[in-house]
Chain A
């Protein structure tokens, strides 16, 4: 094993070691011990990732096996790493955000009795996520996929005595399992037709998959690669919360805020985006699948944004914003702009983690009240949280020169250049989404940090966590909380400007992401690109900038200038409000049709099939038949001589009759 390979192993194993120590020996090492050991593990992993990144940047790509998990026939199941530019990008994002969240957690979970357990979980998550992104095969991808789902489940239900939390985590797991169901079918088809689970082997046979047709439904031949890609994408829809499998993400806010930032904003939910980018050699072979991806993404981007407008829980606003931004990334995937999707994934990881952690800071400051209607004017009390939130919000809405601008604008441009069916709708959706994003982001920003101080009236009842401190004026959070905010704010501002050129138009993703010549979106985009500075300046004459500005202005007008207006509008558009309030009725349908239906079917099969038909009629029925027969034959066993004698006489007569008539 070379030095580099040892380093690869160190990246996931360091957090795993931390997780095991904090998990099994949490009591022995104490609270400080738990956070030190896990932070150390993640820090080691982060530093190692930097070295790996430099090595890859120098042109060293690694693709190799760590160990053989099992074999069966010709099929090999292996655990191995593929280390290229796509992987290292993800490794850096994951370990950096994870490190920030670890540090932040010291402050956020300070009084929680489950302190050690929490650190153990988030380190375990980091391990799982790294295994997912570093994999060179579908088995390990699936392992990481499910493992991050498990940790997400454990963390959403972290406060396990709360009914809403344990409802949300079960829901999250099951909805994700629906996605995994599709994912498994995709993997199964790949294994069946290529005889391998290794990415490189599978990609090499891409043309074969594209020219094979399967008839899943009579008379509807599809290319195999289309079926595979759609199946895989169903997995991505679960993990990356795309409509209609998005329903778990808003509820996942029941978990503590640090994990909302780490898992449900920055990393895990982007696994689907990463996976599709990783599979670009396959997706490129199917226009149908790409169209499907784009339309699903567009629906998510726009319609989930609308829901952000009416939320009053600070975390839920950010959650719907995450859904909408995941939609943007998915749209980019569908437009064959994989590098743009990964670019947005990265910038989003920074500013969304920032927004979540800032929201958490507000929650601490507000003594665990999460309702933005009870806030207002917090900028006076929480200056660092205020400024960093502003930075995050500006980045999110795509303010020129900030990181979100470069990624989001590139998505909009890329979609405009796509010619696949559905691209027109997707373009409209992402443009309209800009306005919506700006509106809900600044609605929240103004309600929280500006305007009248409303907390004196309401302050008190928390939704979040543990015991309540003394009530009173909000206060700025301790340094373990604010330092990560600042450290995340820096990349939220500059990372886009610095990396847009190499990531999108350089050869950074060369070899890792494949784009076919039929989808020359990126090449055309490169024509228009004249450098990061020019791109920022050009923004002022494009529609997205003015749409975003309009959104901010409208939010300002509604929530600072004329705060009575929203009420009036709500009253006027009762039906629309009703639909939004019920989140388009997805939850209702799932609960009644799927959950209720499954229980109904189960009860029917159990009572009707098992107990009624099989046991009732066949099993106990045959026992009853035996019983009846026995009852009847018993009549002849009466023990009375005269009855026996009588039946003998009858018998003799019958026999004699036969005897005489035999001729």
Chain B
């Protein structure tokens, strides 16, 4: 193992890279800003690779840990570490950042430096969320990451961006207020500690656990988002620029789900078991209800946004059926969804850049003018429908099997996604891509260029690799998930 503080690098390389990009100033230096941003993003990704290669898959403990005192008066530490649950998200996040920088390369022409900087800084902050082991540190990263996204939507967004940005910000901020209360409560209960790992061991009465669980639930459910606190997401996606949508779908939604595993389940295991029915019900509503809603969307981005909510329903379902298939399937689904939803938003972005419309009705017959794009888009659409040999299948299959194991009817409801997911995705694909050339705008479309091909091609490779050989992804999780489930099975009630 290297002696380098890899996790700190994963956080601060993009953040300082972002600040450096910001320093290039106005759009006169746009090309410098782009180049610098790409270098920073690639450097940020490279430093995370050893996290995977040097990761000990046998161990359930935190690895690559770093501890420094931060605010000694309150026993707050700068404490970092990753386990099998979190490590892949850091890689995913850093990887997606590279793609986002590339995707915005030519599309963003105004305030280039600020745009790139926002993404880089956000990337670093989100890495912080995934590896913070101190609750205050976590909270700071958790809240701070909202700001760049708020700016990204508010500045580079669509016509209704202010409404969407506010809705996004207020929704998520309000959600996390009660979490802060819970954090402070736990600080006192644990004998003045903010260490998340120590909190995992704190014994709590049932009533307290329920309250803590609900406080966390609000914060995380908004982020995931779970039904019924999901309505900010379609608006945010529609108004966000392509890069914003990609990060939002690929990484930001995962923060809430991650929170369940890091906080809710281990800190309040009895309450988790007690309220599992509620979580399963909400998850199934997300899968089925949102599946139907996605079917009737006329706006491509909205459709994919709803599809995201539905897919995240599978994730939360997997967590709360408390078996290894479910939890690991859910984690795989999170990674896969990062690739697939990111790719789908990029595909919509490719079309939007050319036609300046996201309305399905404005398209038709795109395959005639953009065959390469159509082929890649097909792959991602199929992955979104959960076709085997794509990453989308792996998690869905595992969670579905886990759900059937838990209860036949729960599995039954979850498996409807097989039909609904295919219906909304492929129906959209049919209307946009297939058919005769619908109008002269479509007739004038140019197929994707080398840069776009690179971005989508990289994601396609990931989608296929994970679908054909998911073993390396799943292997990382075993020890930590196993440990977590054993922990959850034990009662913490005094």
Q: Is the CB of A599 within 8 A of B296?
A: yes
Q: Is the CB of B389 within 8 A of A173?
A: no
A166 to B366 Cα, complex, angstroms: 14
Type the 1/0 row for A593-616, where 1 means its CB is closer than 8 Å to any CB of B. 000001101110110011000110
Chain A residue with the shortest CB-CB distance to B404: A188
Among B426, B435, B482, contact of A161 (Cβ-Cβ < 8 Å): B435
Is B367 among interface residues, defined by CB-CB distance under 8 A? Answer: yes
Known contacts A143-B389, A181-B416; can you find 19 more A-B pairs with CB under 8 A?
A67-B469, A69-B469, A72-B325, A72-B474, A75-B401, A142-B397, A143-B388, A147-B389, A161-B365, A173-B426, A185-B415, A188-B415, A191-B405, A599-B295, A602-B296, A605-B289, A606-B293, A614-B228, A619-B231
Q: Is the CB of B419 within 8 A of A174?
A: yes
Chain A residues within 8 Å of B, Cβ to Cβ = 67-73, 75, 139, 142-143, 146-147, 150, 157, 160-161, 163, 166, 170, 173-174, 177-178, 180-181, 184-185, 187-189, 191-192, 214, 216, 598-599, 601-603, 605-606, 609-610, 614-615, 618-619
Q: Is the CB of B328 within 8 A of A181?
A: no
A601 to B288 Cα, complex, angstroms: 11
Is B55 among interface residues, defined by CB-CB distance under 8 A? Answer: no
By secondary structure, the A interface counts as helix
Q: Is the CB of A188 within 8 A of B434?
A: no
Residues of B within 8 A of A609 (CB): 289, 293
Q: Is the CB of B418 within 8 A of A610?
A: no
Q: Is the CB of B434 within 8 A of A160?
A: yes
Scoring B388, B393, B397 by chain A CB atoms within 10 A of each residue's CB, the highest score goes to: B388
Among B171, B404, B471, B482, contact of A185 (Cβ-Cβ < 8 Å): B404
5 cross-chain CB contacts under 8 A: A71-B474, A142-B388, A150-B387, A174-B419, A609-B293
A174 to B293 Cα, complex, angstroms: 17
Residues of A within 8 A of B470 (CB): 69-70
Residues of B within 8 A of A142 (CB): 388, 397
Q: Is the CB of A180 within 8 A of B292?
A: no
A549 to B69 Cα, complex, angstroms: 95
* Nearest Cβ on chain B to A364's Cβ, whole angstroms: 25
* Nearest Cβ on chain A to B368's Cβ, whole angstroms: 7
Is B223 among interface residues, defined by CB-CB distance under 8 A? Answer: no
Is B44 among interface residues, defined by CB-CB distance under 8 A? Answer: no
By secondary structure, the B interface counts as helix
Q: Is the CB of B388 within 8 A of A146?
A: yes
| Contact A602 B474, CB 8 Å, known A150-B387, A166-B435 | no
Q: Is the CB of B401 within 8 A of A73?
A: no
Q: Is the CB of B405 within 8 A of A160?
A: no
Is B219 among interface residues, defined by CB-CB distance under 8 A? Answer: no
* Nearest Cβ on chain B to A385's Cβ, whole angstroms: 33
Is B167 among interface residues, defined by CB-CB distance under 8 A? Answer: yes
| Contact A598 B423, CB 8 Å, known A150-B387, A161-B365 | yes
Residues of A within 8 A of B436 (CB): 161
A603 to B415 Cα, complex, angstroms: 22
Residues of A within 8 A of B367 (CB): 160
Residues of B within 8 A of A173 (CB): 422, 426
| Contact A185 B412, CB 8 Å, known A150-B387, A602-B294 | yes
Instruction: Find residues 292-322 in chain B having any chain A CB closer than 8 Å to their own CB.
Output: 292-297
Among B234, B296, B387, contact of A603 (Cβ-Cβ < 8 Å): B296
Q: Is the CB of A177 within 8 A of B418?
A: yes
A188 to B329 Cα, complex, angstroms: 14
| Contact A75 B325, CB 8 Å, known A163-B435, A602-B295 | yes
Q: Is the CB of A72 within 8 A of B231?
A: no
Q: Is the CB of B368 within 8 A of A177?
A: no
Residues of B within 8 A of A188 (CB): 400-401, 403-405, 411, 415
Residues of B within 8 A of A610 (CB): 231, 234, 293
Residues of B within 8 A of A67 (CB): 469
Residues of B within 8 A of A605 (CB): 289, 292-293
Scoring A178, A603, A609 by chain B CB atoms within 10 A of each residue's CB, the highest score goes to: A609
Is B323 among interface residues, defined by CB-CB distance under 8 A? Answer: yes
* Nearest Cβ on chain B to A601's Cβ, whole angstroms: 5
Instruction: Find residues 191-248 in chain B having any chain A CB closer than 8 Å to their own CB.
Output: 228, 231, 234
Type the 1/0 row for B447-480, where 1 means its CB is closer than 8 Å to any CB of A. 0000000000000000000000111011100100
Residues of A within 8 A of B86 (CB): none
B contact residues, total (Cβ < 8 Å): 58
Residues of B within 8 A of A598 (CB): 292, 295, 423
A605 to B295 Cα, complex, angstroms: 11
Residues of B within 8 A of A216 (CB): 408-409
* Nearest Cβ on chain B to A611's Cβ, whole angstroms: 8
Is B38 among interface residues, defined by CB-CB distance under 8 A? Answer: no
Type the 1/0 row for B414-452, where 1 means its CB is closer than 8 Å to any CB of A. 011011001100110010011110000000000000000
Among B409, B411, B434, contact of A166 (Cβ-Cβ < 8 Å): B434
Scoring B294, B323, B401, B478 by chain A CB atoms within 10 A of each residue's CB, the highest score goes to: B401
Residues of A within 8 A of B401 (CB): 75, 187-188, 191-192
A599 to B436 Cα, complex, angstroms: 24
Q: Is the CB of B296 within 8 A of A177?
A: no
Q: Is the CB of B167 within 8 A of A619?
A: yes
Among B289, B400, B427, B471, contact of A70 (Cβ-Cβ < 8 Å): B471
Is B265 among interface residues, defined by CB-CB distance under 8 A? Answer: no
A644 to B367 Cα, complex, angstroms: 70
Residues of A within 8 A of B423 (CB): 174, 177, 598
A72 to B318 Cα, complex, angstroms: 13
Scoring A184, A609, A614 by chain B CB atoms within 10 A of each residue's CB, the highest score goes to: A184
| Contact A177 B295, CB 8 Å, known A189-B408, A214-B408 | no
Residues of B within 8 A of A619 (CB): 167, 171, 231
Is B382 among interface residues, defined by CB-CB distance under 8 A? Answer: yes
Q: Is the CB of B293 within 8 A of A180?
A: no
Residues of A within 8 A of B403 (CB): 188
Residues of B within 8 A of A599 (CB): 295-296
A177 to B415 Cα, complex, angstroms: 10
Residues of A within 8 A of B393 (CB): 146
Chain A residue with the shortest CB-CB distance to B431: A166
Residues of A within 8 A of B412 (CB): 185
Residues of A within 8 A of B422 (CB): 173-174, 177
Q: Which 5 pairs of residues, A with B, have the shortest CB-CB distance?
A: A188-B404, A73-B324, A192-B405, A602-B296, A602-B292
Is B398 among interface residues, defined by CB-CB distance under 8 A? Answer: yes
Is B488 among interface residues, defined by CB-CB distance under 8 A? Answer: no
Is B10 among interface residues, defined by CB-CB distance under 8 A? Answer: no
Q: Is the CB of B329 within 8 A of A178?
A: no
Q: Is the CB of B418 within 8 A of A184?
A: yes
Q: Is the CB of B400 within 8 A of A72?
A: no
Residues of A within 8 A of B434 (CB): 157, 160-161, 166
A178 to B325 Cα, complex, angstroms: 24
A591 to B357 Cα, complex, angstroms: 29
Among B297, B405, B426, contact of A170 (Cβ-Cβ < 8 Å): B426
Q: Is the CB of A191 within 8 A of B404?
A: yes
Is B21 among interface residues, defined by CB-CB distance under 8 A? Answer: no
Q: Is the CB of A71 within 8 A of B400?
A: no
A70 to B422 Cα, complex, angstroms: 24
Residues of A within 8 A of B430 (CB): 166, 170
A191 to B367 Cα, complex, angstroms: 40
Among A139, A150, A181, contact of B418 (Cβ-Cβ < 8 Å): A181
| Contact A160 B435, CB 8 Å, known A75-B325, A173-B426 | yes
Q: Is the CB of A73 within 8 A of B418?
A: no
Residues of A within 8 A of B40 (CB): none
Is B30 among interface residues, defined by CB-CB distance under 8 A? Answer: no
A615 to B171 Cα, complex, angstroms: 12
Q: Is the CB of A72 within 8 A of B329?
A: yes
Residues of B within 8 A of A601 (CB): 292
Q: Is the CB of B474 within 8 A of A70?
A: yes
Residues of A within 8 A of B325 (CB): 72-73, 75
Q: Is the CB of A147 within 8 A of B296?
A: no
Scoring A146, A599, A614 by chain B CB atoms within 10 A of each residue's CB, the highest score goes to: A146
Chain A residue with the shortest CB-CB distance to B437: A161
Q: Is the CB of B388 within 8 A of A180?
A: no
A599 to B298 Cα, complex, angstroms: 12
